[in-house]
């Protein structure tokens, strides 16, 4: 009689898929490489798109891989232009439930980061991180945001700091 095969893993939580990449013409690769390693070491399934991605490439990858989160990186100071309309593309693809973060050197020069954060939050990003961000901080935020997605009430009670 066929007895079946025991599951290899009896984990109670799902592996979360994260699409990660650098947007626009930006070629700074070190930050996302470190983020990829940290995320993978912490159990995330990471799709690293590398550098110089269009908005469409992020959205297509999120769709194709059924991503839980999209992490956009930008270092060269043109993130505002590169991210204009990004969330319209996300919505047009029916991916409004995908968590979106952006991080890096998001403006030119030394600006007031709270203003920068506010700008990107208004564009639609769930969290905005500066270039001093430790990968652990992003991982903690992802754990919080992706775990509470099962409960609308809990999600609304979260206080976002990034």
User: Which spans of this chain sit near ligand B12 (rule: CB under 6 A)?
Assistant: 25-31, 34-35, 71, 73, 75-77, 101-105, 108-109, 129, 131, 133, 135, 138
45 near 19, Cβ under 8 Å? no
To the query of whether residue 65 is one of the catalytic residues in this protein, the response is: no
Report in angstroms how near the CB of residue 38 gets to ligand B12 at its nearest: 8
To the query of whether residue 60 is one of the catalytic residues in this protein, the response is: no
Comparing CA positions, the residue from 65, 86, 66, 67 lying closest to residue 128 is: 86
105 near 77, Cβ under 8 Å? yes
> Catalytic residue among 28, 65, 78, 119, which?
28
Closer Cβ to ligand B12, 50 or 93, answer by number: 50
What letter does residue 93 receive in the DSSP assignment?
A: T
Closer Cβ to ligand B12, 25 or 56, answer by number: 25
Q: d(Cα 97, Cα 67) in Å, to the nearest integer?
A: 10
Closer Cβ to ligand B12, 34 or 92, answer by number: 34
Q: d(Cα 78, Cα 107) in Å, to the nearest integer?
A: 7
- State the binding site for adenosylcob(III)alamin: 25-29, 73-75, 105-109
Report in angstroms how near the CB of residue 152 gets to ligand B12 at its nearest: 24
Report in angstroms how near the CB of residue 159 gets to ligand B12 at its nearest: 18
Cβ-count burial 68-82 (b if 16+ within 10 Å, e if not):
bbbbbbbbbebbeeb
Comparing CA positions, the residue from 114, 119, 160 lying closest to residue 137 is: 160
Report in angstroms how near the CB of residue 27 gets to ligand B12 at its nearest: 4
Closer Cβ to ligand B12, 31 or 90, answer by number: 31
- State the binding site: 25-29, 73-75, 105-109
Q: What amino acid positions are annotated as catalytic residues?
A: 26, 28
């Amino acid at each position: 009689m066929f007895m079946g095969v025991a599951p290899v893993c009896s984990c109670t939580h799902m592996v979360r898929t994260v699409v990660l990449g650098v947007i626009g013409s930006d070629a700074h690769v070190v930050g996302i490489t470190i983020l990829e390693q940290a995320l993978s070491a912490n159990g995330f399934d990471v799709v690293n798109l590398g550098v110089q991605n269009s908005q469409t490439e992020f959205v297509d990858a999120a769709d194709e891989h059924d991503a839980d989160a999209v992490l956009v990186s930008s270092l060269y100071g043109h993130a505002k232009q590169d991210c204009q309309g990004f969330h319209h593309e996300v919505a047009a693809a029916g991916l409004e439930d995908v968590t979106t973060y952006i991080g890096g050197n998001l403006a030119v020069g030394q600006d007031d980061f709270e203003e920068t954060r506010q700008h990107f939050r208004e564009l639609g990003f769930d969290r905005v991180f500066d270039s001093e961000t430790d990968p652990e901080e992003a991982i903690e935020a992802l754990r919080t945001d992706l775990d509470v997605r099962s409960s609308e009430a809990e999600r609304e009670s979260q206080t976002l700091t990034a």
